Amino acid sequence: MNFNRPNGQQVARRDFVKLGGAVAAGVASAGLFNARFAHAAGSTTTSAETFVGELYASLSDKQKIAVWRPFDHADRQKINPNWHVSKATIGDDLFTPKQKTLIDQIVRNITSKDGYDRLIEQMEYDDGGMDSYSFALFGEPGTDQFQFEMTGRHLTMRADGNRLDKTAFGGPIVYGHGEEYLPDSPFFYQTQQANKVFQALDADQAKLALQKKAPSETAVQLQGANGHFPGIGVDQLSSDQKELVESTLKMLLAPYREDDADEVMEILKGSGGIDQLHMAFYQEEDVDNDRVWDIWRVEGPTMVWHFRGAPHVHAYLNIGVKS
């Protein structure tokens, strides 16, 4: 699937934002952005963790040396937009065709249909496809502590079967895209959606929400209830503005499987709900200087979602209860 502009057409960014917003609204109403509710990307009866167990059971001793780690290994918590969790890549001859198929099934089952298509497009654009990415297995499937992790250029994904209490996705995840013009990225619709919140703010609210300089993109450690969060507090918004924030979060979570998205919302609910969140938009790196803010952040005691759209997409999610 190609999420870029059709036939290489040059579209003014301002017009593209308006057009893209209309398209996004149409797609959302058709249920495609929430495809996880209607269409599991992988098997409807087999979970990602079942495939992780099959993959682990299939590994030879040589393969385990390459990709297995103890559960408490430091690599499991590493946050980086471009790194390899193991030296072996999925396309290496070290792995059998069946094992490569199992890895693909894991990815399909931790994403929605739409999310899988976008991630495949991203991996192909950034590094020639999934074969160029790496994976590792932490701990042992069937125990209370295990996790599959796949990494590479602009990507960190996890499957842990919700083994870690109050930690969504099993830990921080990363996505991105190397296209320098944000509207050509498969994740541009997320910036469009986030900016709908900004556009719904009145002048005083917008003044609180808009910041000059963004924090470091990798500063996504959870701060807990005593943290300092930039931007405007959702508790300062009207009821209809809060509904827009909630619908925005659900759209942002749509690329992932229902279980993980539900866990995110449960963690937020347990920490006071969306009223505990803040939203910030940043003036720096405003592509085309059009005040469609390309760097934005959603943050609260149990969530950090940092999206950097320029010079190309780097996005980080860390959602859980600070220990």
> Which one, of 63, 159, 158, 55, lies nearest residue 100 by Cα?
55
pLDDT at 143: 82
Instruction: Mark whether 143 and 236 lie in a shared domain.
Output: no
Question: What does each of the 323 residues of the chain score in pLDDT, given as a tens digit?
Answer: 555 433 333 344 434 343 344 334 433 433 333 333 333 344 445 699 999 999 999 999 999 999 999 999 999 989 999 999 999 999 999 999 999 999 999 999 999 999 999 999 999 999 999 999 999 999 988 888 899 999 999 999 999 877 778 899 999 999 999 999 899 999 999 999 999 999 999 999 999 999 999 999 999 999 999 999 999 999 999 999 999 999 999 999 999 999 999 999 999 999 999 999 999 999 999 888 889 999 999 999 999 999 999 889 999 999 999 87
Choose one of 101, 133, 163: the last residue of a domain. Answer: 163
Residue 44: both structure tokens together: 């409807």
DSSP reduced 3-state for 157: strand
Choose one of 137, 163, 189: the last residue of a domain. Answer: 163
pLDDT at 171: 93
Instruction: Mark whether 101 and 53 lie in a shared domain.
Output: yes
Instruction: Mark whether 189 and 155 lie in a shared domain.
Output: no
Domain count, the chain: 2
99: containing domain: 48-163
For residues 307 and 296, the answer to whether their CB atoms sit within 8 Å is yes
- Residue 82 burial (CB < 10 Å; 0-12/13-18/19+)? middle
pLDDT at 101: 98
Phi, psi of 294 (to 5 degrees): -95, -10
Q: DSSP letters of 204-262?
A: HHHHHHEESSPPPTT------TT----SEEGGGS-HHHHHHHHHHHHHHHTTB-HHHHH
pLDDT at 36: 34
Choose one of 118, 133, 163: the last residue of a domain. Answer: 163
Question: Residue 317's beta-bridge partner residues?
Answer: 173, 305
Question: Residue 281's beta-bridge partner residues?
Answer: 210, 296
The verdict on residue 43 lying in a domain is no
Alpha-carbon distance of 173 to 162, in angstroms, equals 14
The verdict on residue 114 lying in a domain is yes
pLDDT at 259: 93
pLDDT at 165: 80
Buried b (16+ CB within 10 A) or exposed e, 83-100: ebbbebbbeeeebeeebb
